[in-house]
Chain A
Amino acid sequence: MIFKKPTIFWCVVVCMAAASAVTFTQAQAAEAWQESDLIAVLQSNAEKGEKAITCKRLAIYGTDRCVPVVAPLLADMELSSWARITLEAIPGPVADAALRDAMGKVKGRLLVGVINSIAVRRDGRAVDPLIKTLGDPDEAVASAAAVALGHLGGEPAGTALTRALANAPTGVRSAVAQGCILCAEGFMANRETAKAIALYDAVRQADVPVQRHLEALRGVILARGDAGLPLLVEQLRSQDKKRLSIGLRTARELGGQKVTEALADELAQLSPDRRPLLLLALSDRTDSAVLPTILTAAGTGSKDVRLTAINILVRLGNVSCMPVLLEAATGTDAELSRAAIESIIRMADKAVDTDVVARLKNAQGKQQRVLVEVAGQRQISEAVPAVVSSLKSTDVDTRATAVRAIGIIGQAPQAGDLVALLQTTRNASERAGIRTALQAICGRYGVTCLPLLQPLIKSRDNDLQVIGLSALAIIGGPDALGAVKSAIANGDASVQDEAVRILSTWPNSWPDDSEAGKALLALASSDGKMSHQVLGLRGYLQYVRGSKALSNEQKVTEVEALLTHIKRPEETRQAIAVLGESPCASALDRLTALTTDASVAEEAYSAMVVVSARNVRGISADRRRQVLQTVIEKSKNDGTKQRARRALRDVQ
């Protein structure tokens, strides 16, 4: 008895049974299992399920000691697979011997399993019995033996497999060919190339499925090295799609610059539809002959070939590709041009940045536009002076490209450059582009840009004032807010409108700016334009909603004061939304009062549910129940009623 006390043994068994009786269970910690305990389970009358899980554990914690206990299970139809989990994992000759021994004891499917395990373990002493098993009348068994011999490798296995290629029944031959190919790989790993080639060639000449032929083709091309080139080229030219396919795969694997050069030569010989495919294959090779080949293709040949090559340069290209890519980028074909620009932008080589800066100095026309775009997209800060110079171009497209680039790489002083440019153009599209770029710079550099915007704020051109205000809104802070308020007070009508719109959205960007709250409240309670008042109301409600300084009760007070100025249901609904997000007793009071207004009653009921559903200090459970009951009785919205019922159930 391995367990000193029977109770301990049965505790183990019971625990295992519990663990195995569920589909998933948390795996036990490694230290939890002792081999002796596990062996005891296998020797007991435990259920098969327990023995199965025990085999899994022995795969980790078992040693040679457990092998004699596990091995008999190889003949058990239900536990054989579990036993092999153990035996396959335990290193050493004892487990090897147990599996070899089982070869003579089990048949059919179980024998296939045992052979498969022998193959996984690479048990060299099993070669002879496996060679004998190659002739087994059970094709599944013979096939398993063939593949196992392939895994084990070596000359006796190779010889037996080669012989079997001709003699084996049709149903076994594919497995024999697999074995040959595996065996050949073993020879290649041992630098026994001639033996590998012989095996590959034997498969190529055998009556086996096409896929085995293709594998042998690949193998023999790789084994032959440079001498395999003619066979590779033959596949690339083949009208058989499968041979072309294996050729394209092998073209990626057969190493050496000489091969690359030969494939590059072949590129010109191939039919046009195959050239992009070979080009792509070449791009997966790693020697120094690849890039010149791709580069040549990027500059010459059919459009498909050029496009493929240009796209490949994203991955392989470097600064040496700039002339070819620039030529394509500035050419007349829009698709090639776009692809080339993208490639220049995305090439990882840092030297491209220096090259772009150098070329920008003297660039003109389309090349200037391309380089300016690239400078922006690659974020080349050294290119800023050249891009700023491009702002002065007489060509509107070049200026627009430069503006976009400045928006990306410009620093604070470039806000001034853009302001200056704004003052020289009346083109709406150009001004829109500059506005976007200006906002981007103001977003990055903030208050530093404030003085540079003054010409816009003070401009008599209303459009420029509006652009200036929009940039101020990005910067925020008291000075920017002051300028916006000043524009509302003193500006032209169109400027006022824009300033009011900017102020109304101020709390979205600067929620803690209480001065904005005051300005919005003033606007909301003013007798000015209706649209200004509405925007003021909305902005103020937004401010109240987001304010961290105000308590819920204070928010309700603010909303109540504001309600006296609200004339439309749209704004009342926004006020209700704020009340719903400010859970307190006074919010409930105000919402209850609002239910008398038929135009907003349902929104009020809905918000009442939101507030009452929460257990908030100051609102008793009775009050919450009463409010929710009211909603259930009076709301006409089924969804609201349903939520109220659910909330009512949850109220203690």
Chain B
Amino acid sequence: MSKEKVGLNRRRFLKTAAQAGVCLALPQIIPATALGQNGRVPPSERIRLGAIGIGNRGRYVLSCFLLQPDLQCVAVCDVRGDNRQRAKDQVDKANGNTDCDTYIDFRELLAREDIDAVLIATGPNWHATAATMAAKAGKDVYCEKPCTKNIAQSLQLADVFRRTGRVFQAGTQRRSLPNFAYAIELARTGKLGRLETVHAHPGGLGTKMSGWLPAEALPPRETGDWDMYLGPAAWRPYNLRTLRDGFNFEKGGGLVGGGCLEWGSHCVDLCQLANDADSTAAVEYEPVNGQLHARYANGVKLVMRNDGWLPNMGSCPVRFEGDTGWVETGDNADIEASSDSLLIRKGIKIPGYPADLHVRNFLDCTKTRALTRANADAACWAHITCHAANVALFLDRKVKYDPKKNEFIGDEQANRLRSEALREPWRI
């Protein structure tokens, strides 16, 4: 990325952020001037970032961080040498020097006292473990989704961030996009009447597990640190395919695997927010004809389905239905509703699910210490709903979940799927 391009992007970001601040259902609560965002920010006042696990997605989110005037990235870490070098090049170009430090082992990065916050974009296998270790090391954390591998990790994530007082933002950036925020506001403020059903596109409902491929010769640690790649996942021999599996490796863990976590960690998360359910999970889950139907204690039904969406909505669509109206939106940022009058305040359209506004919200919260839009509690419960749905899919039957006790009701097999041992020496 050239400096010119960074400049252009930064201008675009500032313009978008300004428009969003005016038009969105997401106003910036504290004036930008009070947070020191305007103008040049002296290095001593910048938030110092370390980036961990920087593959394709990581470099994209990192680019959103690098747009921010009050941020300086000082270190990157990846178990793969190629990713590490690309990330360093990206940061050095943005900083106009060659000072960005590189690490293979993220614990060395976390040990640096001059780093305030970390971006974690490893594969999902590492997310919860690395995020909680970062919090215990005193760092604020922006963590890509899915953030946890099972129900127990979801609860531990919320616990650790509460205990440490650190700021957490899940990489569910659709919470910071105006079309989704607007649709959610319609649902939450009664504009659709009494909310009855929320629909989420899970991006697949198949349950999968990561396996054990034949052993191959270990590469040099500088090229690929296999032990650190495996991290909390149970041991298996080195295999290049597994190393390149990145995002899918041990996603969801256990026998249950990815399932609805792919987009569910976005779309189910949005449904939770629309249903004012950031502090709870659905209580019943049932696979029904290729869909997953769930129900919340307040009676609202959650439908996870891969088809039947309005045309041209783009990826990750959601739909909220009340007794007097409905609204549907997706990644193309169009919003359709049962009545035009519902759309009069829909604001600007930002298609393509960019993460820069979400990153901005995270950085603001590192200063105000307020809860981020996708804070650890909200992420915890959205993930629990996804994990519980995956358990129902895996067992291929209806399961009931008690969000107060955090256990499946009268279901030993389901309860055993709530957690999975981490490989030594890792713990949360």
A residues at B contact (CB < 8 Å): 19-30, 48-49, 52-53, 55-57, 59-61, 77-82, 84-85, 87-91, 109-110, 112-114, 116-117, 119-120, 140, 144, 147, 178, 181, 185, 209-211, 214-215, 218-219, 242, 245-246, 248-250, 273, 276-277, 280-281, 284, 303-304, 307-308, 311-312, 314, 338-339, 342, 345-346, 348, 377, 379, 408, 443-444
B257/A27 in contact, CB under 8 A:
yes
Query: Which B residues are CB-close (under 8 A) to A214?
Result: 138, 164-165
In the complex, which of the residues B206, B412, B422 contacts A26, with contact meaning CB atoms closer than 8 Å?
B206
Q: Decide yes or no whether B31 CB sits under 8 A from chain A.
A: yes
Query: Which A residues are CB-close (under 8 A) to B369?
Result: 245, 248-249, 277, 281
B370/A119 in contact, CB under 8 A:
no
Size class of the B contact interface (CB-based, 8 Å): 35 or more
A25/B214 in contact, CB under 8 A:
no
Given contacts A27-B257, A82-B235, contact A185 B163 (CB under 8 A): yes
B312-349: which residues lie under 8 A (CB-CB) from chain A?
340-341, 344-345
In the complex, which of the residues A25, A110, A339, A379 contacts B208, with contact meaning CB atoms closer than 8 Å?
A25
Query: Which B residues are CB-close (under 8 A) to A246?
Result: 165
Q: How far is the CB of B156 from chain A (nearest CB, A)?
A: 10
| CA of A158 to CA of B280, assembled, Å | 32
Q: Decide yes or no whether B279 CB sits under 8 A from chain A.
A: no
In the A-B complex, list the 3 residue pairs whose CB atoms are closest, starting with the nearest: A113-B424, A49-B212, A211-B138
User: Quick one: CB contact mask for B346-372 with A, threshold 8 Å, 1 for yes?
Assistant: 000000000000000000000111110
B residues at A contact (CB < 8 Å): 22, 25, 27-31, 33-34, 136-138, 152, 163-165, 185, 188-190, 206-214, 234-236, 241-242, 245, 248-249, 254-257, 340-341, 344-345, 367-371, 394-397, 412-413, 416-417, 419-427
**Which chain A residue shows the least CB distance to B211?**
A20
| CA of A200 to CA of B49, assembled, Å | 30
| CA of A602 to CA of B256, assembled, Å | 55
A29/B396 in contact, CB under 8 A:
yes
| CA of A248 to CA of B166, assembled, Å | 11
Q: A52-B235, A59-B255 are in contact. List 4 more A-B contacts (CB 8 A).
A: A48-B212, A80-B235, A250-B165, A444-B341
Q: How far is the CB of A168 from chain B (nearest CB, A)?
A: 17
**Which chain B residue shows the least CB distance to A147?**
B427
B234/A60 in contact, CB under 8 A:
no
B30/A308 in contact, CB under 8 A:
yes
A144/B425 in contact, CB under 8 A:
yes
In the complex, which of the residues B136, B413, B424 contacts A110, with contact meaning CB atoms closer than 8 Å?
B424
Given contacts A26-B206, A211-B138, A214-B165, contact A116 B424 (CB under 8 A): yes
| CA of A377 to CA of B25, assembled, Å | 13
| CA of A224 to CA of B137, assembled, Å | 26
Q: How far is the CB of A58 from chain B (nearest CB, A)?
A: 10
B165/A218 in contact, CB under 8 A:
yes
Q: How far is the CB of A7 from chain B (nearest CB, A)?
A: 24
B424/A209 in contact, CB under 8 A:
no
B423/A23 in contact, CB under 8 A:
no
A88/B421 in contact, CB under 8 A:
yes
| CA of A284 to CA of B427, assembled, Å | 31
Given contacts A85-B421, A140-B425, A284-B370, contact A24 B345 (CB under 8 A): no
**Which chain A residue shows the least CB distance to B412?**
A91
Query: Which A residues are CB-close (under 8 A) to B425?
Result: 109, 112-113, 116, 140, 144
Q: Would you give 25 A-B contacts (Cβ < 8 Å), ordered by A?
A: A20-B212, A22-B211, A26-B207, A26-B208, A27-B256, A49-B236, A52-B212, A60-B416, A60-B417, A81-B423, A82-B234, A89-B416, A89-B419, A109-B424, A109-B425, A120-B152, A147-B427, A215-B163, A215-B164, A215-B165, A218-B165, A245-B369, A248-B369, A280-B370, A303-B31
Q: How far is the CB of A368 from chain B (nearest CB, A)?
A: 21
Q: How far is the CB of B137 from chain A (nearest CB, A)?
A: 7
B256/A78 in contact, CB under 8 A:
no
B163/A348 in contact, CB under 8 A:
no
B234/A280 in contact, CB under 8 A:
no
Q: How far is the CB of B110 from chain A (nearest CB, A)?
A: 11
| CA of A27 to CA of B212, assembled, Å | 14
Query: Which A residues are CB-close (under 8 A) to B412?
Result: 91
**Which chain B residue shows the least CB distance to A377?**
B345
| CA of A56 to CA of B213, assembled, Å | 16
Query: Which A residues are CB-close (under 8 A) to B34?
Result: 273, 276, 304, 308
Query: Which B residues are CB-close (under 8 A) to A59?
Result: 254-255, 416, 420
Residue among B163, B165, B207 facing the most chain A CB atoms (10 A cut-off): B165
Given contacts A23-B241, A112-B425, A304-B31, contact A79 B255 (CB under 8 A): no
Tell me what chain A mostly uses at the interface: helix, strand, loop, or mixed.
Answer: helix
Query: Which B residues are CB-close (under 8 A) to A30?
Result: 394-397, 413
| CA of A311 to CA of B21, assembled, Å | 11
Residue among B152, B164, B189, B397 facing the most chain A CB atoms (10 A cut-off): B164
In the complex, which of the residues A56, A280, A379 contacts B255, with contact meaning CB atoms closer than 8 Å?
A56
In the complex, which of the residues B138, B163, B249, B367 contacts A181, with contact meaning CB atoms closer than 8 Å?
B163
B241/A311 in contact, CB under 8 A:
no
B345/A144 in contact, CB under 8 A:
no
In the complex, which of the residues B188, B257, B371 contacts A284, with contact meaning CB atoms closer than 8 Å?
B371
B421/A84 in contact, CB under 8 A:
yes
A52/B424 in contact, CB under 8 A:
no
B234/A311 in contact, CB under 8 A:
no
Q: How far is the CB of B314 from chain A (nearest CB, A)?
A: 24
Query: Which B residues are CB-close (under 8 A) to A339?
Result: 27
B30/A443 in contact, CB under 8 A:
no
A342/B394 in contact, CB under 8 A:
no
B248/A24 in contact, CB under 8 A:
yes
Given contacts A19-B211, A21-B213, A26-B208, contact A117 B421 (CB under 8 A): yes
Residue among B22, B25, B211, B421 facing the most chain A CB atoms (10 A cut-off): B421
Query: Which B residues are CB-close (under 8 A) to A60?
Result: 255, 413, 416-417
In the complex, which of the residues B27, B137, B211 contacts A23, with contact meaning CB atoms closer than 8 Å?
B211
A88/B138 in contact, CB under 8 A:
no
Given contacts A30-B413, A377-B345, A408-B344, contact A25 B422 (CB under 8 A): no
| CA of A82 to CA of B29, assembled, Å | 48
Query: Which A residues are CB-close (under 8 A) to B424?
Result: 80-81, 84, 109-110, 112-114, 116
Query: Which A residues are CB-close (under 8 A) to B212?
Result: 20-21, 48-49, 52-53
**Which chain B residue shows the least CB distance to A78?**
B235
Query: Which B residues are CB-close (under 8 A) to A144?
Result: 425, 427
| CA of A311 to CA of B31, assembled, Å | 10
Q: How far is the CB of A285 from chain B (nearest CB, A)?
A: 12
**Which chain A residue shows the least CB distance to B413?**
A60
A408/B341 in contact, CB under 8 A:
yes
Query: Which A residues are CB-close (under 8 A) to B31?
Result: 276, 303-304, 307-308
**Which chain A residue shows the least CB distance to B207?**
A27
| CA of A55 to CA of B209, assembled, Å | 13
B234/A27 in contact, CB under 8 A:
no
Given contacts A56-B254, A248-B368, contact A116 B422 (CB under 8 A): yes
B241/A209 in contact, CB under 8 A:
no
B245/A23 in contact, CB under 8 A:
yes
Query: Which A residues are CB-close (under 8 A) to B396?
Result: 29-30
A304/B245 in contact, CB under 8 A:
no
A178/B136 in contact, CB under 8 A:
yes
**Which chain B residue shows the least CB distance to A80?**
B424
Q: How far is the CB of A133 from chain B (nearest CB, A)?
A: 14
Query: Which A residues are CB-close (under 8 A) to B138?
Result: 209-211, 214, 242
Q: How far is the CB of B393 from chain A (nearest CB, A)?
A: 9
Query: Which B residues are CB-close (under 8 A) to A81?
Result: 234-235, 421-424
Q: How far is the CB of A70 from chain B (nearest CB, A)?
A: 12
Q: How far is the CB of B191 from chain A (nearest CB, A)?
A: 9
| CA of A181 to CA of B214, assembled, Å | 44
Q: How far is the CB of A29 from chain B (nearest CB, A)?
A: 6
A280/B30 in contact, CB under 8 A:
yes
Query: Which A residues are CB-close (under 8 A) to B254?
Result: 56, 59
B211/A21 in contact, CB under 8 A:
yes
**Which chain B residue shows the least CB distance to A305?**
B34
| CA of A48 to CA of B234, assembled, Å | 12
B242/A23 in contact, CB under 8 A:
yes
